[in-house]
Amino acid sequence: MHILENCILCEVWNDILQSFSGCSLSLQSAQIELSTAVNLMRSLGTVLQQMLDSLDEYEIRGAARTTNHEYKTAKCCKRQKTCNDATAHSFSDKETFRGNTFIAITDKLKSSLEHWIKAYENIDKTFSILTVFSPTISRSEINEGIKHLCQRYSDDLPVDFTKEFLQFVEFTSLSDI
C-alpha cells in the first residue's frame, strides 16, 4: 500500500469491524436480553463518536504502514473567479480527507446505527414487561407495560390481559418459578 489514505482507512475499518463483530456475536446469542442489546448498540455509537476525535492517531498508524506520508492531492477543475467572489477558503488535503471520507463514513454508520437502536428500543419497550417482571415490580409499572403491549397487539391480546398477567405475577412469586 503506497497511498496514505488507504492505509488510514485500513486502520479505521479494522477498528470499526472489530467493534461491530464483537457486538454482532453478542447480539446473536439466544440468551441476550433486549435491554442488553440496546446498550450494546449504544456502545457502538460511542465508539464511532470517539473515532471522530482520533484521526491523528489513525494517521500515525496508517503512516507506519507506508513510506508515503503525504496525502494524495485531489485534482479538480478550478472555478473561474469573478470580481464579486470573496476569497474562498481552500482546505488542506488532510482536511479534505477528514471531511469527505472519514467523517462521511462515521456519520453514515452512526445514522444507520441510530435507526437500529430505535428499532431495538421499540421492541424492548413493547416486551420488557414480559422479561423484567417480578413480585417487587409495582402495579403501576405492570399496568403501564401491559397497556403498551396491548396497544401494540390489540388484535391478539384479550381485553382483560392485565388481570391475567397480574395473576401470573402472583403465581410466579408463590411458585418460585
Calpha distance 77→88 (Å, rounded): 15
Side-chain-side CA neighbours of 139 within 13 Å: the count stands at 6
Please provide the size of the chain in residues: 177
Mean pLDDT, residues 65-91: 64
Angle at CA 12, nearest 5°, toward 9 and 13?
85
pLDDT band for position 63 (cuts 50, 70, 90): confident
**How does residue 144 score in pLDDT terms, banded at 50, 70 and 90?**
confident
Residue 109: its pLDDT value, please?
Answer: 94
6 or 23: which carries more pLDDT confidence? 23
Q: DSSP of 140-166, one letter per residue?
A: HHHHHHHHHHHHHTTTTS-TTHHHHHH
Dist. CA 102–CA 95, nearest whole Å: 10
Asked if 62 and 7 touch (Cβ cutoff 8 Å), the reply is yes
pLDDT (average), residues 7-18: 92
First and final C-alpha spacing in the chain: 60
For residue 65, the model assigns a pLDDT of 82
- Give the position of cell 407495560: 145
- The answer to whether 69 touches 4, Cβ cutoff 8 Å, is yes
pLDDT digits (tens, 9 = 90+) for 101-125: 889 999 999 999 999 999 999 998 8
**Of 88-92, 135-139, 167-171, where does mean pLDDT reach its minimum?**
88-92
